[in-house]
Structure 1
Amino acid sequence: MISYETHVLPNSDYYVYTPSTLAKKLFFYPICTGSFRYESGYRLARDSYDSFLLMYILKGTCFVTVDDQTMQATAGQLVLLDCYAPHAYGTDSGFEALWLHFDGPMARTFYETIVLEKGSLLYPAHPDAIYRFLYNIYDTFRSRAPIAKDQISGTITNILTDLLTAETTQHATRKTQTDISDAISHINKYFYKSITLQELADIAALSPYYFSRVFARETGMTPHKYLITTRMANAKFLLKTSQMSVKEIAIRSGFSDESGFCTAFKKQEGMTPNEYRNTVC
């Protein structure tokens, strides 16, 4: 089918597919696929389109916005999006892409695992194979060939497996670890102040959602849990080494009031701050 979207150039076409009930239960399945040429000024923003998107950038550049974070995708990269969530993409200079909207029982698991480890913009381990896989699905519909549900599902599995097993570059790994370390240093330095998730995510240059996932992977706890644990460590130190009142210790440790501090302390330590202060250790 010919696209009539604004800023989509001629010779762009797409094909839709309605999977059977059995295919939805058992397989990865395509929803629509296409090969588009976009000119400068193209914009698309959706609250939801029930599928996941694989978009291989063949030429040019496009921007992609997800979780309030905008990224630049260039030729050779593959964009992986959860279209159930708000998302947008477009271009100021034009680009060409081969794309596939798909879904399946394991689609979200694959998506979350890949994006958590590598992000939404990916360099495939085997780019020629990825292009061939996507093109074969697209060409099956374009040529009106018989649809083999199991074969198409296997092709989508191959694409996702390639993305899942592609090695993250050492530079990217070091960068992520450095960004998380900067956020941890910020907590350690300013734990007595009000610290928001957005503030920490901004330090790491990540969206709050992805920052939380990466932070938990690196530290074994959520950012909030890490902050509370740091505040408690400071409070325990002051209880054992100073004559400050419990109220003053609570405030100096970042808690808004004495009551909230005592409740949190007893929940974590199994005793009140004064009981902890009077223990011999």
Structure 2
Amino acid sequence: MLSKEKYVAPKSDYYIHTPSALAKELFLYPTVIGNFRYEAGYELYRNNYTSFLCMYIKQGDCEITTGSIKLAAKAGQIVLIDCYKPHSYRSDNGWEAVWFHYDGKLARGYYDAITNKQGNVISLASDYRFKKYLDKLYFSYKNTAPINETVINNWIINIMTELMVSNQLTASIESASEPVEDVIAFISDNLDKELSIEELAKKANLSPFYFSRIFKKETGFTPHDYIITSKIDHAKYLLLNTSLSSKDICYQLGFGNESSFCATFKKKTGKTPREYRTNF
């Protein structure tokens, strides 16, 4: 839905979630999630709003008050507020934020653990993972995707975990490993396709040279070797657990032809696909 609030820019959107009884008993769950562009002069004060708020400042800056504490937050920072207590946020200049109200039986425990250590305004050494899960959460509602509360719970827990532990790692370590993790997941989901270094590097937002370098450092494989090894490992599983022919497996795993598949399989395993199926 589009917001009608005063001093909130048109096309600012929000989505309501009504948790199931199971979610209330077991999970962390969102109650409202949105992306707002707050115009200069926006101000909100609440005495009580039965949830917690997590707000990622995309641009601009704002002033947060929680209880008797007054804090400033700027672009790239995350704000956590216990909305069960009096709170407010405002700005003379305006700001844009992706935010979600959330609750659940473990919500206060996470809130206390994070704010006792990090405070209510948090700067992460690297916000890559945080933004990844926040985007998953927001776009699942924006794109009207089917809502799986177990998955939503997992995303929120990942967000909370990042707020607790991200500053314990150096930005250089995270920035090197996180894009590789995403690319590995992408490879696993696309073994039926021919994947180029350029495509994978673009997925990681890195140059092909630098991507290949950090991929080898993180996995011990070049990207090409990792793709081939993943395809062959998948082929082994299919040979032992299905009745698919070598030809069917070949095309399912994106090889150009059966002879190429068989030659690659033998190079990696020392056996032809037929020998491997027979022996094992």
Q: Output the TM-score relative to the length of structure 2.
A: 0.59
SS in 2 for 1:4: coil
Equivalent residue number for residue 221 of structure 1: none
Alpha carbons of 1:167 and 1:24: their partners in 2 closer, same or farther (altered >3 Å)?
A: same
CA distance in 1, matches of 2:88, 2:152: 27
Equivalent residue number for residue 12 of structure 1: 12
Unaligned residue ranges in structure 1 (runs of 5+): 170-281
Equivalent residue number for residue 93 of structure 1: 93
Equivalent residue number for residue 129 of structure 1: 129
SS in 1 for 2:137: helix
Identity %: 44
Equivalent residue number for residue 229 of structure 1: none
Aligned-pair distance for 1:125? 4.0
CA distance in 2, matches of 1:87, 1:148: 31
**Residues 1-281 of structure 1: matches in 2 within 5 Å?**
1-167=1-167
CA distance in 2, matches of 1:126, 1:80: 17
SS in 1 for 2:34: strand
Aligned-pair distance for 1:138? 1.2
SS in 2 for 1:167: helix
Aligned-pair distance for 1:91? 0.8
Alignment RMSD:
1.3
Residue identity in the other structure for 2:118: K
Do 2:37 and 2:95's aligned partners in 1 also have CA atoms closer than 8 Å?
yes
Unaligned residue ranges in structure 2 (runs of 5+): 170-280
CA distance in 2, matches of 1:108, 1:125: 24
CA distance in 2, matches of 1:123, 1:84: 24
CA distance in 2, matches of 1:16, 1:137: 12
Aligned-pair distance for 1:104? 1.1
CA distance in 2, matches of 1:165, 1:67: 25
CA distance in 2, matches of 1:135, 1:9: 20
Aligned-pair distance for 1:162? 0.8
SS in 1 for 2:24: helix
SS in 1 for 2:92: coil
User: After superposition, what is the alpha-carbon deviation per residue over 1:212-240, rounded to whole angstroms, capped at 9, x for unaligned?
Assistant: xxxxxxxxxxxxxxxxxxxxxxxxxxxxx
Do 2:124 and 2:167's aligned partners in 1 also have CA atoms closer than 8 Å?
no
User: After superposition, what is the alpha-carbon deviation per residue over 1:120-174, rounded to whole angstroms, capped at 9, x for unaligned?
Assistant: 00013431221221121111111111001111100000010111113379xxxxx
CA distance in 2, matches of 1:168, 1:16: 34
Residue identity in the other structure for 1:115: T
Do 1:27 and 1:104's aligned partners in 2 also have CA atoms closer than 8 Å?
yes
Residue identity in the other structure for 1:147: I
SS in 1 for 2:167: coil
Q: Output the TM-score relative to the length of structure 1.
A: 0.58
CA distance in 2, matches of 1:125, 1:53: 21
Over alpha carbons, which structure has the higher Rg?
1
CA distance in 1, matches of 2:60, 2:39: 10
CA distance in 2, matches of 1:130, 1:65: 23
Residue identity in the other structure for 2:110: F
Residue identity in the other structure for 2:22: L
Residue identity in the other structure for 1:101: H
Residue identity in the other structure for 2:114: I
User: After superposition, what is the alpha-carbon deviation per residue over 1:40-92, rounded to whole angstroms, capped at 9, x for unaligned?
Assistant: 00000001111111000000000000122211100000000101111000111
CA distance in 1, matches of 2:54, 2:98: 8
SS in 1 for 2:110: helix
Question: How many residues are aligned here?
Answer: 169
SS in 1 for 2:59: strand
Do 2:6 and 2:42's aligned partners in 1 also have CA atoms closer than 8 Å?
yes
Aligned-pair distance for 1:96? 0.4
Alpha carbons of 1:119 and 1:168: their partners in 2 closer, same or farther (altered >3 Å)?
A: farther
